[in-house]
Structure formats: structure tokens, C-alpha cells
Amino acid sequence: MIQIRHLSKRYNGKTVLKNISLNIEKGMSTALIGKNGAGKSTLINILINHLKADTGEIIDIDHVLNLNHIGVLFQKTSFPRLIKVKELYKLFCQLYKDAISIDEFKKITKLNDSQLNLYANHLSGGQQRILDFGLCLIGKPKLLILDEPTAAMDVEMREHFWTMIGKLKKENVSIFYTSHYIEEVERMADKVIFLDQGIIKLNDSPRNILTNQQYSIIKVPNTVDNDLQNLTNYFDVKIEDTTLKIKTSDVKKVIYYLEKLNINLNDITIEKQTLLETILFADVKEGETKNE
């Protein structure tokens, strides 16, 4: 549907996006994750034509990057002070030839008739967020771009939101979103793109990421023992306060080494990585993309 090729962007001499290439597939859900400042919002702003890239191109194969076919939910929700929910609905309906009905709008937002008569900025934070989402859907978009869509939503509202996303995917709507909730990424994303300092470090399905990159994490109490500190010479070790975290694909090898150091095995724990840990530990060289 959309091909992004060799996109780069600099601000004040600093590279924010570096040679970004990815596809947004029709009817699929793509999660864009990364730390604050990784370049996620910059990429979204370029996609929706709020920013211009310095180099690269965006190939809009199905012509969805226009106001008639795209719905955008920004990270922060805000409404004018003196406008009611139903007035917002009517206002947005005037922008499209084929708008959703008021009944559909109520199902999406879970707002009843009396809430439709409230001023939008009098709703709770979660209700304002789902209202903003409902407004994105009024024109029946083919592509949704969502920046931290479930921020401010409680558990019940988030569950409703992802149920709606599931229905949209069945209708062949493409979803491109950012999220800090890794469980939502594992559950809903068909593809995960990990952006780190403007570089794509991973671009793959959650299943493939866990299958191809998964390691175990062995946690060992940290002591001043020199032999234990020397673990860093042989294994991938992170030192966190009173704990050594050893990442390995060969648990037996680490256990053998720990036994030689007379470490009490009752003091260690072994865990499989979560998707987030797998991504953050991923051994991908700068500029390399996994399974684009």
C-alpha cells in the first residue's frame, strides 16, 4: 500500500531519521516502537505531510495519503472549550461524502445520548481519547495513523479500542500506530518496527522476533567477587544494582560456568525474554534492517 524508501531528516544539524525504509501493508497492523526521541513522531509527521523529508520518497500505491482516505489520531487530545460532542460529530460529517451514522459513532465511542450533549472537554481523559478516535473514523478511512492511541484510557476502554481495531482490520483498513504498551504490540501487531535514534533496528512480526531472537535472561546476585565480575569477558552481561543479568542462548554453558565459581544455583533465576526485552537486546548492526 505505502512504500517508504531511504527517508532521512535532520534538525539543527542532528539526524532524526536516517535512511528509513519500510512498507505499510494493506489491511495489516504495524506497530512503531522506540524510546522518546527515537524519531517516531517525526516519521508520522512526514507521512501525513506535516513535515518534509530531506531525502527519500514515499510511494503511495493505493493513493490513501489524502484527507479522504486517512484518519490521524495525534498523541495529545484537545477540543475547543464550547463545543458539544454531537456538534463535533456533525462538523466532521460535513467533511465527507460518506460518513458513518450517529449509531455507528456511538458504538465506537461508547457515548450515550446524554453524553453526546456534553461539552467535549468536560468528558474524562479516556472518553476524550475514544471520542478523538471516533472522529478519525467518521470518513471511513482506509489508513489509520495513531500516535499512542490508548494513552489516558483505562483497561476497559483499551479493550474496547482494540476490539474496534480488530473489526477495522477485517474491513481491510491499514493501521500504523505507536505504543508504549508492549502487551498491545504483542497482541495486535502484524509487524513491529523498532526505531532507535532514527535508525530501524528491527522490522518483523512479533512471532518471528521471539522465535529468531529470543534468549534467556539469567539473573545472578552481584558481588564484589572478581571471578563473578569477569563474567563480562565471556557473556553478554548487564549490571543493574545488586543483580547481574546474563543474556544467553546457551543456558547450560552459563550454569556450568557459575557452578565452577561455586555460585549457589538456588540464588539465580532464569527467565525467557519478553518481546520488549528481545527487541531492546536485538543484535542488529547500525543501518541494518531485519526482514524488511
- Identify the band that residue 44 occupies on the pLDDT scale cut at 50, 70 and 90: very high
The residue whose grid cell reads 513491529 is 192
What secondary structure letter does DSSP report for 172?
T
Identify the CA nearest to 205 among candidates 38, 30, 19.
30
Q: Report pLDDT for 82.
A: 93
Q: Report pLDDT for 95.
A: 94
Q: What structural domains and CATH numbers belong to the chain? A: 2-204 (3.40.50.300), 215-272 (3.30.70.980)
Q: What are the angstrom distances between the C-alpha of 105 and each of 70, 72, 135, 164, 181?
A: 17, 16, 8, 12, 26
Q: Report pLDDT for 286.
A: 38
Cβ neighbours of residue 6 under 8 Å, at least 6 residues apart?
A: 19, 20, 21, 55, 56, 57
pTM for the model: 0.79
pLDDT digits (tens, 9 = 90+) for 8-39: 999 888 999 999 999 999 999 999 999 888 99
What secondary structure letter does DSSP report for 82?
T
Would you call 126 exposed, middle or buried from its count of C-beta atoms within 10 A (0-12, 13-18, 19+)?
A: buried
How much is the mean pLDDT over the chain?
Answer: 89
Cβ atoms < 10 Å from Cβ of 156: 10
Percent of the chain's residues with pLDDT above 70: 92
